[in-house]
Structure 1
Amino acid sequence: MPDPTHPPLAGKVILVVGASAGIGADAARVFAADGASLMLVARTEGPLAAIAKELDNAGHHVAYTTGDVSHPDDVTHFVNATVETFGHLDGAFNNAAITQAGRLDQVPETDFDQIMAVNVKGTWLCIREEARVMLEQGHGSIVNMSSIGGVRGSSGMGAYQASKHAVIGLTRTAAHDFGPHGIRVNVLAPGPTETPMLDQTRLAIPGGVEARIAATPLRKPGTGAEVGSVASFLLSDRASHLSGVVLPVDGGFVA
């Protein structure tokens, strides 16, 4: 049974990338409640500062800095800032992403490039810099964010789904590359989750979200806290023998 006197992330420093809203913000709240010290990162300072202040006022150890995951210097900065602030880096939740809708032949090339720059290159840059620190330490846990769109296809979001398939490939390779050095790398594949991004999808593909929810055995969308709770488990020592796992958090949609 869990020990309520020893939260699962007690003593751990967790970097949360894409922490200003949606799953990232909700996951940060879960990680803080589970005992972690947090470095929060997002592109826009206002909402990020609000989340940091909320957690600080609740008595949690939290810092924040801005950065764009598609810019290598930004990623190096926020990883280094985590170590400079807290002394080490035990885990990372790579959640930054953007979405897109449109049939594949109708996606503007600039949109396709931006999706890949943030969702794929950004995840790779985060893994690269986080692993740099974790290799020196000899331990660490990384949780990347894919989607059920990364394990199956559907019409209307091809560029986004291609990027999320790529995140799974990066994760599996990283698990092999870094496992011998004590670093675990896993990936979550959420189904429809109540976030601002889901609201964008509702507008872009009318009826698409509701159809997926109707096809979900639990008949409801997930919440950011539910996804964050699974990420917390993977970041904790309770998941010490899990690496390279693609874990759906989807109410049974892909069952």
Structure 2
Amino acid sequence: MQQKRLQDKVIIISGGTKGVGRAFAEAAAMEGAKVVIGGRDVNAGMDIVKNICMLGTDGAFVYTNLLETGDCGKPFALAYEKFGRVDGFFNYAGVTPLSPLDTCDEDTFDSVMDINFKAAFFCCQHAVHYMRQSGGGSIVLTGSAHAWGGQKDRAAYACSKGALLTLMEHMAHQYAAEQIRCNYLVLGWTPTDGEISLRNSLGESEAELRKRAAAVLPMGRMCESNDYMEALIYLMSDASSMMTGSILRITSGEYI
């Protein structure tokens, strides 16, 4: 029987109760990983843990409010206490409100930077600490094509993703000798719950969103959560053990 690609690895996911984070929690479990999820939706978190256990492995959920810096270490401490190591961290948590430079208010700017960059920074601090004790590990930061300038109505979001890109390059250079890797996975335009809710608030239905996106994306459709699973499994697996400091784009051909 073929070895599962993430067999017995301990992987932490921030924002793992929704969208791509949730999909990866279950995909990683199917590949044999033990998964620890940090998030605010307790019911969704416990439901995912139940699914993970049904897949024949183990998992845990811990309530994590990333607006509180002290909460950033909770998933890592739980993973190390329960499973004795930390092998991977997928930083998925993020927000994407409208935030054009000429009208963005301070509260919106702070909320974007606090979740998308500050929380990621301190989560990575904990990831490095525990991965050192585990002999290394893989960190994947959720990137965006907005990091290279972005659209006009996403100024704060674009800045946060640009900061994450710099953080990825910093970690890749500084921790390679400790076998701690970091890569930047650029996600495309995806109809996540958050994206659909945002468009609905602006008067656009999911069907209209998909049709509009299909007309402008070079490959003719939006990316779905499952489109990212093989890349994430690869980046967390030993198959990518010599890959760090890399940018991997899965964007339906979009490049802003």
Alignment TM-score, normalising by the size of structure 1: 0.92
The yes-or-no answer on 1:113 pairing with 2:114 is no
- Where does residue 249 of structure 2 map in the other structure? 248
Change (3 A) 1:43 1:83: same
Change (3 A) 1:15 1:184: same
Change (3 A) 1:200 1:102: farther
CA distance in 2, matches of 1:149, 1:19: 22
- Relative contact order higher in (CA < 8 Å, ≥ 6 apart): 1
Instruction: Give the share of equivalent positions with the same residue, in percent.
Output: 27
Change (3 A) 1:180 1:123: same
Match of 1:137 among 109, 124, 134: 134
Cα deviation for residue 75 of structure 1 reads: 1.5
RMSD: 1.9
Q: Secondary structure of the equivalent of 2:165?
A: helix
Change (3 A) 1:244 1:21: same
Q: 1:120-159 counterparts in 2 under 5 A?
A: 120-159=117-156
Cα deviation for residue 122 of structure 1 reads: 0.7
CA distance in 2, matches of 1:87, 1:131: 15
- Where does residue 179 of structure 1 map in the other structure? 176
Cα deviation for residue 62 of structure 1 reads: 1.2
CA distance in 2, matches of 1:194, 1:208: 8
8 Å CA contact retained: 2:213, 2:221: no
The one-letter amino acid of 1:245's match is S
Cα deviation for residue 167 of structure 1 reads: 0.9
Change (3 A) 1:162 1:139: same
The yes-or-no answer on 1:195 pairing with 2:192 is yes
How many residues were matched structurally? Answer: 252
8 Å CA contact retained: 2:99, 2:108: no
Q: Secondary structure of the equivalent of 1:104?
A: coil
- Where does residue 55 of structure 2 map in the other structure? 58
CA distance in 2, matches of 1:78, 1:127: 12
8 Å CA contact retained: 1:103, 1:155: yes
- Where does residue 18 of structure 2 map in the other structure? 21
Q: Secondary structure of the equivalent of 2:102?
A: helix
Structure 2: gaps (5+ residues): none
8 Å CA contact retained: 1:192, 1:209: no
8 Å CA contact retained: 1:120, 1:167: yes
Structure 1: gaps (5+ residues): none
Change (3 A) 1:65 1:165: same
The yes-or-no answer on 1:78 pairing with 2:79 is no
- Where does residue 233 of structure 2 map in the other structure? 232
8 Å CA contact retained: 2:49, 2:58: no
Change (3 A) 1:204 1:176: farther
CA distance in 1, matches of 2:248, 2:237: 15
